[in-house]
Amino acid sequence: MTRAATDDAHDAGHQLRDLVAHVRRLLPYDERTPAGFEEPTVRIARPAAAMHGLRLTAALPSLLDADGRITVAPASSRSAGDVLTLVDAVASHSRVVQAGAHILAEPQSVAAQTGTGVPAMQQVSVGMQIFSPAPFALVDDPDADVSPDEAALSDLSDIMAEGRIERPEDLRNLGFRVTLTRRQIRDMDEATLMGAIVHSISMGVARAVDAELLAALAAVVDAAETAGQRISFAAATGLRFDELRAIVGTSGIGAAGDRGNLFVDGIPAALSGDLAGTLIGAWDRFAVALGGQITLLVKRTSGAGDVEITAWAAMKAVIPDAGYAWAAV
């Protein structure tokens, strides 16, 4: 297996097209020429396959073809003239990000100076912190001769919550695989075909981001049975009503439409197929750490030129304090 020499300056569709073309040209063997021989005498079988890391900052291909026709049109895409990167597309299609959740970069290894002239590698974690109002309470006259112990003592966790991911290995890996026959590659404009695949990958990563955070929250949040109880939860956290968003899953719990808009208890809502129930919360208190690239593996599966494309993404939910979301039941 090889690493393809694909130009990262090209858009994502072009990079995939170069990778597929490279693999379709690969020989399924390595030749060995022993010393003293002019011609190879041994052929060692090898898979006709290559890998490439598609950075999330890579631009997606234009939605217009050479004649000005829209060839790929995801529903949430920006206008055709805009430059849209993979991470932009993920944010555009993700329900949780549109509700306010953050996308974080993965943990990194950086060189740390040791003072000996020999650098050491150091892991830099990623995460987010949430600060809560300090719980001031009534005390005696502070000008009087009283001890500071009169003030109630709080733990740091009462005013600050943190979610952190220490290592890239802590991210969860997800994969997708698709086959392309020689006829499909031949009969469809190649730029359009590869553009459709990378746009589909960006949309799939967005859904995976949703599924990751929604599943993590659904497993830990409290349940609220009535609209009054749900509003009570929000009030207890000190949230403003306009900070709240709901995501309605396949059961449709609490959902109500009004003039083309979706609401749960008067809270703006969005639909998601990656959740069974309904979650309400202040989504800007949560995040998903996302690997810095989509790893692509292209493998030729037949002598005719059929190929198999596999894509991997890595991610993990970051939930500093699950008390900022709850489930409608």
Q: Is the pLDDT of residue 113 over 70?
A: no
- What pLDDT, on a 0 to 100 scale, did the predictor assign at position 121? 56
- What pLDDT, on a 0 to 100 scale, did the predictor assign at position 63? 66
DSSP 16: H
Is the pLDDT higher at 77 or at 234? 234
Each residue's pLDDT tens digit, 276-324 = 999 999 999 999 999 999 999 999 999 888 999 999 999 999 999 999 9
Mean predicted confidence (pLDDT) in 224-243: 93
Q: Is the pLDDT of residue 236 over 80?
A: yes
- What pLDDT, on a 0 to 100 scale, did the predictor assign at position 138? 83
Domain boundaries, the chain: 2-33+40-104+173-328
Residue 241 · residue 232 · CB < 8 Å: no
The most confident of the ranges 79-83, 184-188, 317-321 is 317-321
Mean predicted confidence (pLDDT) in 50-66: 86
- What pLDDT, on a 0 to 100 scale, did the predictor assign at position 32? 74
Distance CA 84, CA 58 (A): 8
Residue 226: both structure tokens together: 């009535």
Distance CA 213, CA 325 (A): 12
- What pLDDT, on a 0 to 100 scale, did the predictor assign at position 151? 78
- What pLDDT, on a 0 to 100 scale, did the predictor assign at position 78? 53
Query: Which conformational region is residue 238 in: left (phi greater than 0), alpha (psi within -120 to 50 degrees), or beta?
Result: left
Distance CA 143, CA 163 (A): 40
Mode of pairing for the β-strands spanning 2-3 and 49-55:
parallel
Q: From the CA atom positions of the chain, what is the Rg in Å? A: 26
From residue 250, how far is each of 99, 217, 260 by CA, in Å?
A: 18, 16, 19
Q: Is the pLDDT of residue 81 over 70?
A: no
**Sequence letter at residue 12:** A
Q: Is the pLDDT of residue 115 over 70?
A: no
Each residue's pLDDT tens digit, 3-21 = 665 666 789 999 999 999 9
pTM for the full model? 0.85
Which pLDDT band, with edges at 50, 70 and 90, does 28 fall under? confident
Distance CA 10, CA 280 (A): 40
Which residues does residue 53 pair with via DSSP β-bridges, in sequence order?
295
Burial group, residue 68, by CB count within 10 angstroms (0-12, 13-18, 19+): exposed
Residue 218 · residue 316 · CB < 8 Å: no
Instruction: Give 221-260 as a DSSP string.
Output: SEEE-SHHHHHHHHHHHT--GGG-EEEE-TT-TTEEEETT
**Half-sphere exposure of 11 toward its Cβ, with a 13 Å CA cutoff?**
18
DSSP 158: G
- What pLDDT, on a 0 to 100 scale, did the predictor assign at position 243? 97
- What pLDDT, on a 0 to 100 scale, did the predictor assign at position 176? 98
Each residue's pLDDT tens digit, 145-183 = 556 667 788 999 889 999 999 888 899 999 999 999 999
- What pLDDT, on a 0 to 100 scale, did the predictor assign at position 131? 92
Distance CA 216, CA 320 (A): 12
Which pLDDT band, with edges at 50, 70 and 90, does 2 fall under? low
Mean predicted confidence (pLDDT) in 213-234: 95
- What pLDDT, on a 0 to 100 scale, did the predictor assign at position 6? 61
Question: In the predicted model, what is the mean pLDDT of the chain?
Answer: 87
Q: Is 300 helix (H, G, I), strand (E, B) or coil?
A: strand
- What pLDDT, on a 0 to 100 scale, did the predictor assign at position 44? 72
